Amino acid sequence: MVDLINVSYDTQIPNNVGLSQDRRVLKALEKWHPGYLNWWGKLIPQNFQDSMVYLRTAVSVDPKGWAKFGYVKMPDYRWGVLLAPQVEDRRIPFGEHAGQPAWQEVPGEYRNMLKRLIVIQGDTEPGSVEQQRFLGLTAPSLYDMRNLFQVNVEEGRHLWAMVYLLHKYFGKDGREEADDLLRRQSGSQEAPRMLGAFNEETPDWLSFFMFTYFTDRDGKMQLESLAQSGFDPLSRTCRFMLTEEAHHMFVGETGVGRVVQRTCDAMAAAGLRDPFEIGKVRDLGVIDLPTIQKKLNLHYSLSLDLFGQEVSTNAANAFNAGIKGRYMENRIDDDHRLTNATYKVRNVVGGQIAEEEVPALTAINMRLRDDYIRDAAGGVGRWNKIIEKSGLPFQLELPHEAFHRQIGVFSATKASPAGDILSEAQWSANRDAWLPSKADGDYIQSLMVPCYEPGQYASWIAPPKVGIDGKRGEFEYVQIHHA
């Protein structure tokens, strides 16, 4: 009997999909495994392969008991294939096949569309680990280092999740795609990662926190949409991945919050009241609030690009086919087919931002981006509460969706964070006031000195309110052993 709740550790690859009875797929994955370990060893969190890291490992897909904590060397982490339990009699929730039984095998007519979405999803996971591979060297604490590595091993597991689908359901070309996921590399000239944001650098820890807040949140939205899929194995895979995603966004939100907290505390202690006295704030060894806003502007705008074109036939086709749904599809009160529905999209018309109604089917990306913007606003409000409590006259804000875009209708124009359309000259004159400048980057880089003493934190970040797994102050989240 295959146990579909608890994870079987009887094969090299922990799983709850009965791999030991599925020789063909097990063999294919075992063949892919050394390449994966080689990728991890070559690229991934540099210099810490022999350190003991206090990580959580999934041992069950039951929400109450899935995580087990313990020290493990990252290369020995048990990356597993985990699907949320099958829902009995699940139906395709939307599109032209709405109401029919969910597919347990790949529907032939949608094979390529499905494979493309799985490959794009899979490509982002190792991309993010590659972007973050140097950060261990400058960790502001062992607590933060551990969180970084936790995020990294879980993104590694998300790659496994997509590779399993490719091996199990897409035969020879699925195996080739799985190999290519290890061949492409973030920032590479010859073989870059597929989506823009995953070829950018994550040069410092503030970027890491912004990335896990804003870019992992795109991951959440996309996974929510794919979790609605009529292709049941994809739905189940994404549902389990979402339980891990929550922690990544927690790392981002609390990380930025702790940076903000530290800046406010240091300014209060020094009697500084003006957030724009940047030189004086920086003399305190903390990151001034305007620079935090610039980092926010950068990572938010890069993340908006991940939603694709506002009006997209790809997205319409995927919805119609029952392959990729909307955020919270099951809670939306409509026909789930969108035959006559319309949706408002923003566009630039004659140098002005204007709204127009388009067929809702074609505006699926736009709708998801709107849902994302609402979701992303929550944490910004909580960061502002920290600033408010300190009494400083400053508020962080999400910039306008037209600001600094490379994909979609706004990519053709320049806009300010307030959403005013600008000339090239106006943009160039203000760019460094809105996005991190070289000098801002250099300053932040100068703060990135490692702090590896248990219970100690770098000058620019406050300690967390609570530890991981109930651990306190001096707990040694990473026992550093250099090879």
Binding residues for Fe ion, rule: CB under 5 A, are 125, 155, 158, 216, 219, 245, 248
125 in contact with ligand BYC (CB under 6 A): yes
Report in angstroms how near the CB of residue 222 gets to ligand BYC at its nearest.
4
Q: Which partner in Fe ion, ligand BYC, none is near 167 (CB below 5 to 8 A by kind)? A: none
- CB distance 119 to 234 below 8 Å: no
Question: In the numeric block, which tokens belong to residue 305?
Answer: 């690009």
306 in contact with ligand BYC (CB under 6 A): yes
Question: Residue 345, SS3?
Answer: strand
Rounded Cα distance between 151 and 203, Å, is 17
Question: What is the amino acid identity at position 9?
Answer: Y
- CB distance 114 to 234 below 8 Å: yes
Q: How many residues bind ligand BYC (CB under 6 A)?
A: 25
Measured in whole angstroms, the distance separating CA 232 from the mean position of its chain's CA atoms is: 23
Report, in this order, helix, strand and coil percent for the chain, each rounded to 5.
Answer: 55, 10, 40
- CB distance 291 to 428 below 8 Å: no
- CB distance 462 to 265 below 8 Å: yes
Give residue for tokens 């529905």: 341
Tell me whether residue 53 or residue 159 sits nearer to Fe ion (CB atom).
Answer: 159
Question: In the numeric block, which tokens belong to residue 385?
Answer: 């509460």
155 in contact with ligand BYC (CB under 6 A): yes
305 in contact with ligand BYC (CB under 6 A): yes
* Contact track, ligand BYC, 201-240, x by CB under 6 A: --------------xx-xx--x------------------
Question: Residue 55, SS3?
Answer: strand
Instruction: Out of 57, 152, 235, 312, name the contact with ligand BYC by CB under 6 A.
Output: 312
* Contact track, ligand BYC, 257-296, x by CB under 6 A: ----------------------------------------
Rounded Cα distance between 462 and 268, Å, is 14
Question: Residue 457, SS3?
Answer: coil
Sequential DSSP letters for 211-268? IIIIIHHHHHHHHHHHHT-SBHHHHHHHHHHHHHHHHHHHHHHHHHHHHHHHHHHHHH
Question: Residue 295, SS3?
Answer: helix
Residue nearest to ligand BYC (CB): 308
196 in contact with ligand BYC (CB under 6 A): yes
Question: In the numeric block, which tokens belong to residue 477?
Answer: 């989240």
Instruction: Out of 314, 342, 384, 395, name the contact with ligand BYC by CB under 6 A.
Output: 314
Which one of the spans 118-126, 290-298, 329-337, 464-472 is the region binding ligand BYC (CB under 6 A)?
118-126
Tell me whether residue 51 or residue 147 sits nearer to Fe ion (CB atom).
Answer: 147
124 in contact with ligand BYC (CB under 6 A): yes
Nearest CA to 432 out of 332, 290, 310, 301 is that of 290
Report in angstroms how near the CB of residue 136 gets to ligand BYC at its nearest.
17
Tell me whether residue 309 or residue 413 sits nearer to ligand BYC (CB atom).
Answer: 309
Other beta carbons within 10 angstroms of residue 104's beta carbon come to 11
Tell me whether residue 138 or residue 152 sits nearer to Fe ion (CB atom).
Answer: 152
Helices (H), 20-95: 23-43
Report in angstroms how near the CB of residue 375 gets to ligand BYC at its nearest.
14
Which one of the spans 1-9, 122-130, 171-179, 263-271 is the region binding ligand BYC (CB under 6 A)?
122-130
- CB distance 273 to 255 below 8 Å: no
Which one of the spans 103-111, 305-313, 332-340, 473-481 is the region binding ligand BYC (CB under 6 A)?
305-313
Q: 401-420: which residues touch ligand BYC (CB under 6 A)?
A: 407
Q: What is the DSSP letter of 4?
A: S
Report in angstroms how near the CB of residue 473 gets to ligand BYC at its nearest.
30
Report in angstroms how near the CB of residue 131 gets to ligand BYC at its nearest.
9
- CB distance 133 to 364 below 8 Å: no
Instruction: Out of 81, 145, 195, 396, name the contact with ligand BYC by CB under 6 A.
Output: 195
Report in angstroms how near the CB of residue 302 gets to ligand BYC at its nearest.
9
Report in angstroms how near the CB of residue 55 gets to Fe ion at its nearest.
15
What residues line the site for ligand BYC (CB under 6 A)? Answer: 117, 120-121, 124-125, 128, 155, 195-196, 215-216, 218-219, 222, 305-309, 312, 314-315, 324, 365, 407
